[in-house]
C-alpha cells in the first residue's frame, strides 16, 4: 500500500470519529441525498425501456486471453441471439467481455459503471446511450436487480460475491420475484457451494429449497439453457 493510500485511509478513519455540529450534518447529508436521488433518476430514465436483459458479473481483473473472458463473451453473444440484452458493471475484464459479446451480435449492451480509485473504467463495447456512471454502490445494485431477468456469475472477487449474495438474499426473502442465477465454472464455485451446503444448511441457517435458487454450470451453452428453461416453464419469452 502506497504512502498516499495509507494517508487517505487514515484521513477517512479520523473523519469517521470527528464530531460534527448540526450545520455540518445538515449541509453534508442534504447534498448526499440529492446526489443519490439524481443517480436513481438517471438510472430509471435510461433503463426503463431497455427490454429483457441478463446481467453478467465477474472479475474486472480477468485478462482478455483468459478462458473466463472468452466464456463471458460467448455467453453474452448467445444471450443476444436468444433475444436478451446484456448488462454488466461497465468496466474491464469479465464486464468488458460481456459487453463485447453483446455488441458483436448487435444486441443491447448496457454498462453500469462505478467510480473507483483503481481498476474501473468504462469499456468501449457499451452502447453510449446505455452507459451510466454511479458514485454509490447501492444505487447501482438496485439497477442491476430492477432491470435484469437473470444473473450469470463468472469467477470474481468480493464485488462479484456481493452481487451474487445480494440477489440470493432478495429472492430468498421475497423482496423481489425469483429469476435465474447461474454460476459458471464448477471448479471455481464448488468450494463455496460445498461450504453453503455443509455449513449454512447443516446449521439450519438456510432451508434445503434455498439451494435451488441458483444453478452451477460449466459452459456457455448450459448457462443460456438454464435461463431459457426457467422462462419457458412460465410460458414467457424474451419479448415478455
| Distance in angstroms (rounded) separating the CA atoms of residues 109 and 86 | 5
> How high does pLDDT run on average in the chain?
89
Classify residue 210 by its DSSP letter.
G
Please write the tens of the pLDDT for every residue from 43-84: 999 999 899 999 999 999 999 999 999 999 999 999 999 999
Structurally, what CATH architecture does the domain formed by 20-233 represent? 3-Layer(aba) Sandwich (3.40)
Please write the tens of the pLDDT for every residue from 148-184: 999 999 999 999 999 999 999 999 999 999 999 999 9
| Distance in angstroms (rounded) separating the CA atoms of residues 110 and 116 | 19
Sequence-distant (≥ 6) Cβ neighbours of residue 140 within 8 angstroms: 89, 112, 114, 134
Tell me the domain boundaries of the chain: 20-233
pTM: 0.86
Please write the tens of the pLDDT for every residue from 107-156: 999 999 998 876 567 899 999 999 999 999 999 999 999 999 999 999 99
For position 116, what pLDDT does the model report? 80
Query: What separation in angstroms does the CA of 215 have from each of 19, 174, 224?
Result: 48, 19, 11
Amino acid at each position: 500500500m502506497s504512502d498516499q493510500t495509507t494517508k487517505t485511509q487514515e484521513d477517512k478513519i479520523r473523519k469517521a470519529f470527528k464530531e460534527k455540529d448540526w450545520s455540518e450534518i445538515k449541509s453534508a447529508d442534504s447534498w448526499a441525498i440529492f446526489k443519490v436521488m439524481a443517480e436513481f433518476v438517471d438510472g430509471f430514465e435510461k433503463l426503463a425501456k431497455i427490454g429483457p436483459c441478463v446481467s453478467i458479473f465477474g472479475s474486472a481483473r480477468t485478462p482478455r486471453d483468459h478462458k473466463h473472458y472468452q466464456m463471458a463473451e460467448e455467453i453474452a453473444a448467445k444471450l443476444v441471439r436468444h433475444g436478451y440484452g446484456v448488462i454488466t458493471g461497465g468496466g474491464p475484464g469479465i464486464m468488458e467481455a460481456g459487453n463485447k459479446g453483446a455488441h458483436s451480435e448487435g444486441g443491447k449492451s448496457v454498462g453500469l459503471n462505478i467510480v473507483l480509485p483503481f481498476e474501473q473504467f468504462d469499456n468501449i463495447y457499451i452502447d453510449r446511450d446505455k452507459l451510466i456512471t454511479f458514485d454509490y454502490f447501492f444505487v447501482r445494485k438496485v439497477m442491476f436487480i430492477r432491470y435484469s431477468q437473470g444473473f450469470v456469475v463468472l469467477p470474481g472477487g468480493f464485488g462479484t460475491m456481493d452481487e451474487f449474495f445480494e440477489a440470493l438474499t432478495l429472492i430468498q426473502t421475497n423482496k423481489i420475484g425469483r429469476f435465474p442465477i447461474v454460476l459458471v465454472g464448477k471448479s471455481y464455485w464448488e468450494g463455496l457451494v460445498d461450504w453453503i451446503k455443509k455449513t449454512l444448511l447443516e446449521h439450519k441457517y438456510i432451508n434445503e429449497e434455498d439451494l435451488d435458487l441458483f444453478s452451477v454450470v460449466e459452459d456457455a451453452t448450459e448457462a443460456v439453457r438454464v435461463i431459457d428453461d426457467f422462462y419457458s416453464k412460465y410460458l414467457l419469452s424474451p419479448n415478455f
